[in-house]
A and B are shown apart, each in its own frame.
Chain A
Amino acid sequence: MATRIYNVFIVSKSGGLIYDYDHTSSSGTVHNLEVEKTFGYPLDIRLISENRKMIVEFGARDGIATGHVLISMNGISIEGMSEEQIKEFIQKEENFPLNLKFGRPRLSTNEKIVLASMFYPFFALAVQLSPELGSSGIKELETDTFKLYCNQTLTGVKFIIVAESKISGSSGIESLLDKIYELYADYALKNPFYSLEMPIRADLFDTNLALAIDQIERTGFI
């Protein structure tokens, strides 16, 4: 049974992101990425600016959902434009009809680092707020679009896999987590140029990880 893997993260003992593998672009798993539409004046969706991005706040329609960001206007990327420029352009009637392209925001490396360090307190709080004695941290986190699997080693390193949510058994993912730990031990830790807690940059690790992920996606086991 085929499983889709979206992301792999490795988080060090101190909560820093030391490795991330993005599988969403290469496997073509994300389909509703960008939508382009022609709009008349006035605009029937409400945009707000947040973190130097224009975000759809209200008025989802035709594949444009709340939370999507503005990517381009009339085919021209908005990168480099200031908020004021964009707002001014959108408010002028003579600029209409206007072609706007929206899409789900892609995670930047910085945002990935922030998310990785966010997971750390969740993991610790899950232990603290446990109603049962001797609980571990979060092993599985479930949403309607993806599932997150986490394996913490005895040395405190966390291996995190983000995968498709429609999987019945998670045995394949569990073996993939073990496999990644093995690869980490073999290709990162045994590398004489690798220092602990630092980002992993090893070609052998990358290729072997990609192989393992491909295999689990095709066959469902390692």
Chain B
Amino acid sequence: MTIYNLYIFHENGTLLYYQEWHRRKHTEMSREEEGKLLYGMIFSMKSFVNKLSPSDLKDGFQSFKTSKYRLNFYETASSVKFILNTDTSVTYSLVKDLLKAVYAQVFVEYAVKNPLYKPGDPILSLLFKNKCDHFIKASSFYK
């Protein structure tokens, strides 16, 4: 089992944070462009799913799977979006718990509670990076 990479988006679509672990394929775009593309895709996917659903949604879009990877999506009530790419053997419920923990124990603790961090700006704090890295590496499905 593998974790490829993590994206964190602000409610307005800016890429707050990106980190990668076992990523093997890179796009030819810059990180910002790639972030915009992914955000746009997830944004329209949410509305797609909302229209297609036969009954009322609670969480809405959760994940999608291709032959090689699974993209997992978790959104907080304040619209902070977490996207974690894993391999296909990882289930969404596992990832959701991990992302919830990343939000509560890393994002809130080391970004929101940092007085030098302005909400909506990309997170540059080294402490945040280290904590996030430790957190992901400690998870049960990080190889």
Give Cα A217–Cα B140 distance, bound, in whole angstroms: 36
| Secondary structure call for the B interface | mixed
B113 at interface (Cβ–Cβ under 8 A)? no
Chain B's closest residue to A9 (CB) is: B52
Contact of A140 with B64 in the complex, beta carbons under 8 Å? yes
CB closest residue in chain A, given B46: A143
| B13 contacts partner chain A, Cβ-Cβ < 8 Å | no
Q: Number of residues in A with C-beta < 8 Å to the partner?
A: 41
Partner of A115 from B48, B56, B69, B87 at Cβ < 8 Å: B48
Q: Find B56's partner among A24, A65, A137, A148 (CB 8 Å cutoff).
A: A65
> Judging by beta carbons under 8 Å apart, are A129 and B66 in contact?
no
B contact residues, total (Cβ < 8 Å): 40
- Counting CB contacts under 8 A, is B45 at the interface? yes
Query: In the complex where A130-B25, A135-B66 touch, is A67 in contact with B56 (Cβ < 8 A)?
Result: yes
Say whether, besides A6-B54, A129-B27, A131-B85, A138 and B41 are in contact (CB < 8 Å): no
Question: 1/0 contact trace for A15-47 toward B, CB 8 Å?
Answer: 000000000100001111000000000000000
B67 touches A136 (CB 8 A): yes
Residue from the set B23, B51, B58, B85 with the largest chain A CB neighbour count within 10 Å = B51
Judge whether B4 and A131 touch: CB under 8 Å: yes
Interface string of A134-156 (1 = CB under 8 A from B): 11111111111110100000000
**Contact A162 to B85, CB < 8 A, known contacts A143-B57, A143-B61, A144-B59:** no
Q: How far is the CB of A92 from chain B (nearest CB, A)?
A: 30
Are the C-beta atoms of B51 and A132 separated by less than 8 Å?
no
- Contact indicator A146/B52 (Cβ below 8 Å): yes
Which residue of chain A lies nearest to B69 when distances are taken between CB atoms in the complex?
A: A132
Contact of B55 among A30, A122, A126, A139 (CB under 8 A): A30
Give chain B residues whose Cβ lies under 8 Å from the Cβ of A125: 37-38, 41
Using a CB–CB distance below 8 Å, which chain B residues touch chain A? 4-5, 20, 22-25, 27, 34, 37-38, 41, 44-45, 48-69, 71, 85, 87, 92
The 9 closest A-B pairs by CB, nearest first: A131-B4, A135-B68, A136-B67, A132-B68, A131-B23, A141-B64, A140-B65, A144-B59, A125-B41
Residues of chain A whose beta carbon lies under 8 Å from any beta carbon of chain B: 6-7, 24, 29-32, 65, 67, 104, 107, 111, 115, 118-119, 121-122, 125-146, 148, 162
